[in-house]
Amino acid sequence: MYKISLKKKINSIFTAKKSREEIFEELEELLILSDVSAERAVTLLDRIRKKARLGFEKEDFIALLKAELSDIFHPPDDRDNRSFCSEVRLPDEKNVILVVGVNGSGKTTTAAKLAVYFRGQGKKVLLSAADTFRAAGSSQLSLWGERLNIPVIGGDRGADPGSVVYNSLNSLKSRDHDLLIVDTAGRVQTKDNLMKELEKLTRVIQKFYPSQPAEIFLVIDATMGQNTLDQARRFSQFSGITGIILAKVDGTAKGGTVINIMDEMKIPVKFVGTGESEADLAAFSADEFLDSLLGD
Ligand code: GDP
């Protein structure tokens, strides 16, 4: 699933006779070229340098790097080591999922993919098009709904997203459905407004179901390289995010993005988007990711 491997490149760094410093310089370059942020690459290698014995070999480096990355993949709030799981499950009750992210990140497509994923687990899914800010926001999700045979509750352009979500929750409550997935607006006039909007939606949801939303997923476009952190930081004021979905990992051969995001946000990556169709969503497994990054 991940087309990234650093193993060959690490091997080539360790081939010729080089000083320890030359090796570390080349390793730093390799991490940065793989989209790990420069600051993070330096910190990671400093920690490894301190632990590496004199005359260390590539196997030592790979083991040390793997240990450092494993630490990054265990954010403090990842109580059940869920970033190491290969399936995401929801509690056995009516659930609500909010999908947030900047426009163009792949948010609407991801909402549709999530609907298919959880339908595969037996959930009866309802979609809510609360992205009323954009002209095409609502209709795009409706098209997905028709294609997937999943009902979509929408609103006209400019309608209050809170009222769309309210109507959707009423449907969730009265109908024989058990999961509502809400596609939210990726842009309002200012960042503060965006956060207020998301907080408002959360409050509306909690009036119906105090323990919901079960998940708030932040969708991030993996092809944006170093800029993915800017996308993540836009939402850092909004404390409710429970997981990250990295969309478009099929469009990048670099793994640094996952490392940056997990290290910066301390929030687990839960899914990766691997293409444009509804089936192109996979639960993220840190084990698989590390194996493909550092395995043969
Ligand atoms: P939104 O503006 O954030 O709602 O983004 P959209 O869902 O409209 O997606 C923007 C573009 O990215 C569309 O052309 C999607 O088909 C595409 N896209 C979304 N997810 C993926 C993915 O995982 N892989 C690829 N290759 N394209 C994707």
Q: Per residue in 119-144, pLDDT tens? A: 999 999 999 999 887 766 568 899 99
In this structure, the residues whose C-beta lies within 6 A of any atom of ligand 1 are: 101, 103-109, 186, 247-248, 250-251, 273-276, 280
**Average pLDDT across the chain, whole number:** 86
Q: What ligand 1 atom has the least distance to the C-alpha of 105?
A: 3
Distance 248 CA to ligand 1 centre (A): 7
In this predicted structure, the answer to whether residue 3 has a pLDDT above a threshold of 80 is: no
Q: What is the pTM of this model?
A: 0.88
Instruction: State the pLDDT at residue 123.
Output: 96
Phi-psi category of residue 185: left, alpha or beta, with phi > 0 → left and psi -120 to 50 → alpha: beta
Give the pLDDT of residue 195: 82
Residue ID of nearest Cα to ligand 1 atom 19: 106
> What pLDDT was estimated at residue 129?
94
pLDDT for position 80 = 57
Q: What is the pLDDT of residue 218?
A: 93
Report the interhelical angle of 137-148 vs 107-119 (nearest 10°): 30
pLDDT of residue 291 exceeding 70 = yes
At residue 149, φ and ψ (nearest 5 deg) are: 60, 50
Q: Could you tell which of 2, 103, 109 is best to mutate to test the pocket of ligand 1, judged by most ligand atoms within 8 Å of the CB?
A: 109
Spacing, Cα 25 to ligand 1 middle (Å): 36
- The CATH class that applies to domain 95-294 reads alpha beta
Write out the E strands in the chain.
95-100, 125-129, 152-153, 179-183, 215-221, 243-247, 269-273, 281-283
- pLDDT band for position 54 (cuts 50, 70, 90): confident
